């Protein structure tokens, strides 16, 4: 007994000591965690690098643990980037902008929104210059807004047109004995196509070709204007890869010159009006935002609430990366209760997801619309469930390159009956009633398929009815453009799914008009709160799980893993857009 007593005392003492050490560690971290305040000096160049993940809304944590233990991944908020460029336009300490990024870790619509804001910045008369050792298509598209574009003499530009790749798993399922049983409505509902076929259907190829051409047309139109080249010339350059090296890129007026980074810095000094021997003052976009320039201030008491719905739609609470009905409903109710909120803008960036969660959010939006003007702003994606929660707004704005529509529904059930048979597993069931049941280890019965099909059809009917009422279109008209088909923002406006092409700022201004207010400030929702226990559950704490997997698998393989994992966790009938669709 004495031994056990001593052992328990030792364990308790160790735990107390560890706790004390941990608290001391935190105190020391707080003591040394104060960083020098960033100041914007006169004659400064704002440097834009977009290698960190760009999200529509990326609120910064105020907890020291977030920064010290790297509990959060690097990210930037699109709203802050846009505000920073707006502030830089009128900041007397900022003389110009330098775009220096090999990759743009943002969606096409997000990139276009940033580029449009840079176009506005040029109206101030300040310069924009761009440089990169190599450009991919997205970074070149962004950089093409510059007055002058430079590249490394041995660099290249990947300017070849857009493409998208879809992986198919039908043969893998047959070989492994594990498959997805799929019930869907919509001939274009390609979200589950990779599990049904081993090649792309004609309908899916048609819709992908259509919206890729629409998005490519938007990019070419912007580049054409900035580089003074016709769209036909740009397509010829893309067809023949006539920007693949510096010599060809200069000959075809894709860039202005090939220089090394030090020579580019000399050009920045000249544009800034300082001597070659003087030190060039630069500030990164993230540092500029940290000085408070990521906000547009107002003394008005009036507010426009911007509620961000970003990520896949799930049934439950949700978080910064997933749309759950609980957080969105809570945000809508908070906004309604605030007497200073005069209108609401719902910013959507979502491929869809849970049909039930989408319906619950739609219902709360219906109640909200009775009290306040409701405007939707679509980001990169507002498809399927993402469109479901958009369709009843007073006005819908989409970026030209937004991917929207995908009005369709499916159900998917994992089944491993073949694998079970191959390895000698036999499953027997006992039930009290005759109602059709589903077993992972037994083939899907006709009775259960019929019941599930009925559920899919019911939700599709409800989905089409919601769109019909929200868009003031007949059921037949909606069904003709539905069937799971995906549309670009441009085409969505042509067929009536969208009212107007514009960005988030346009949507906010329209909401203010509906509310009959001129002066206002923007209040962002939801409020994301994570307790200490949730944070500590991520140990080893020097890396997030996402960072560790990306390092182990590589970014492209991680995205494939993430998509397959999402499908394995699907619960209930889904309204979501095509499977693993990435534009390159």
List, by residue number, the catalytic residues: 189, 384
Alpha helices in 241-354 (DSSP H): 246-251, 261-272, 285-288, 325-337
The answer to whether 537 touches 144, Cβ cutoff 8 Å, is no
Two structure tokens written together for 50:
């977009």
3-state secondary structure of 314: strand
Q: φ, ψ for residue 33 (rounded to 5)?
A: -80, -10
Cα–Cα distance list, 106 to 19, 81, 103, 119, 336 (Å): 41, 12, 9, 18, 31
Question: Could you give the CA distance from residue 94 to residue 88 in angstroms, rounded to a whole number?
Answer: 6
Q: Say how far apart CA 98 and CA 46 lie, in whole Å.
A: 6
Cβ-based neighbour number of residue 568 at 10 Å: 11
Distance separating alpha carbons of residues 6 and 356, to the nearest angstrom: 56
Q: Which residue has the tokens 């051409």?
A: 213
Cβ-proximal residues to 506 (8 Å cutoff; 6+ apart), any chain: 377, 397, 500
User: Cα(172)–Cα(193) distance, rounded to whole angstroms?
Assistant: 14
Taking alpha carbons only, the member of 43, 48, 128 closest to residue 93 is 43
> What is the DSSP track for 101-146?
-S---S-HHHHHHHHHHHHHHHTTT-EEEEEESSB-HHHHHHHTTS
Q: What angle separates helix 545-553 from helix 555-568, to the nearest 10 degrees? A: 120
In 3D, which of 334, 383, 385 has the Cα closest to residue 359? 385
Q: Nearest Cα to 47, choosing from 261, 272, 282, 293?
A: 282
Yes or no: say if 408 and 575 are a contact pair by the CB < 8 Å rule.
yes
CB 110 within 8 A of CB 142: no
* Coil/strand/helix, residue 24: helix
Beta bridge partners of 76: 54
* CA 507/CA 82 separation, integer angstroms: 14
């Amino acid at each position: 007994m004495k031994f056990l007593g001593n052992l328990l005392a030792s364990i308790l003492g160790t735990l107390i000591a560890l706790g004390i050490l941990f608290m001391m560690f935190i105190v020391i971290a707080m003591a040394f965690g104060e960083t020098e305040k960033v100041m914007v000096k006169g004659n400064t160049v704002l440097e834009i690098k977009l290698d960190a993940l760009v999200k529509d809304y990326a609120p910064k944590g105020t907890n020291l643990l977030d920064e010290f233990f790297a509990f959060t991944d690097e990210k930037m908020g699109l709203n802050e980037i846009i505000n920073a460029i707006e502030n830089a336009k009128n900041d007397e300490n900022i003389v110009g902008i330098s775009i220096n990024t090999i990759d743009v870790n943002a969606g096409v619509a997000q990139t276009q929104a940033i580029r449009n804001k840079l176009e506005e910045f040029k109206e101030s008369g300040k310069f924009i210059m761009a440089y990169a050792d190599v450009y991919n298509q997205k970074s070149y598209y962004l950089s093409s807004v510059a007055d002058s574009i430079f590249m490394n003499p041995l660099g290249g530009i990947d300017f070849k047109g857009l493409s998208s790749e879809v992986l198919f798993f039908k043969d893998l399922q047959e070989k492994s004995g594990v498959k997805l049983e799929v019930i869907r409505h919509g001939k274009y509902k390609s979200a589950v196509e990779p599990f049904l076929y081993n090649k792309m259907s004609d309908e899916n190829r048609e819709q992908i070709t259509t919206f890729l051409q629409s998005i490519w047309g938007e990019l070419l139109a912007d580049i054409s204007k900035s580089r003074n080249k016709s769209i036909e010339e740009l397509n010829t350059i893309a067809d023949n890869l006539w920007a693949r090296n510096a010599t060809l890129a200069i000959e075809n007026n894709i860039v202005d010159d090939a220089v090394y980074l030090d020579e580019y810095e000399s050009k920045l000094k000249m544009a800034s009006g300082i001597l070659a021997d003087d030190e060039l003052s630069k500030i990164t976009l993230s540092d500029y935002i940290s000085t408070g320039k990521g906000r547009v201030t107002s003394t008005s008491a009036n507010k426009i609430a911007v509620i961000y719905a970003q990520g896949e739609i799930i049934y439950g609470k949700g978080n910064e990366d997933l749309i759950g009905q609980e957080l969105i409903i809570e945000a809508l109710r908070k906004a309604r209760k605030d007497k200073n909120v005069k209108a609401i803008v719902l910013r959507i960036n979502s491929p869809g997801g849970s049909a039930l969660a989408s319906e619950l959010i739609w219902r709360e939006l219906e109640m909200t619309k009775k009290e306040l003007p409701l405007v939707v702003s679509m980001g990169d994606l507002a498809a399927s469930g993402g469109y479901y929660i958009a369709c009843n707004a007073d006005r819908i704005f989409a970026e030209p390159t937004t991917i929207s529509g995908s009005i369709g529904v499916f159900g998917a059930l994992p089944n491993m009956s073949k694998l079970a048979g191959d390895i000698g597993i036999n499953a027997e069931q006992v039930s009290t009633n005759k109602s059709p049941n589903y077993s992972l280890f037994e083939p899907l019965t006709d009775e259960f398929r019929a019941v599930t099909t009925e559920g899919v059809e019911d939700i599709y009917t409800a989905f089409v009815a919601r769109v019909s009422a929200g868009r003031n279109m007949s059921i037949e008209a909606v069904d003709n453009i539905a069937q799971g088909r995906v549309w670009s923002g441009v085409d969505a406006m042509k067929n009536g799914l969208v009212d107007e092409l514009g960005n988030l700022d346009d949507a906010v201004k329209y909401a203010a008009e509906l509310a009959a207010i001129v002066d206002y400030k923007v209040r962002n929702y939801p409020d994301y709160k994570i307790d200490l226990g949730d944070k500590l559950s991520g140990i080893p704490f020097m890396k997030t799980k996402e960072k560790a997997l990306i390092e182990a698998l590589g970014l492209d393989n991680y995205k494939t893993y993430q998509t397959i994992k999402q499908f394995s966790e699907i619960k209930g009938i889904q309204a979501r857009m095509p499977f693993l669709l990435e534009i390159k």
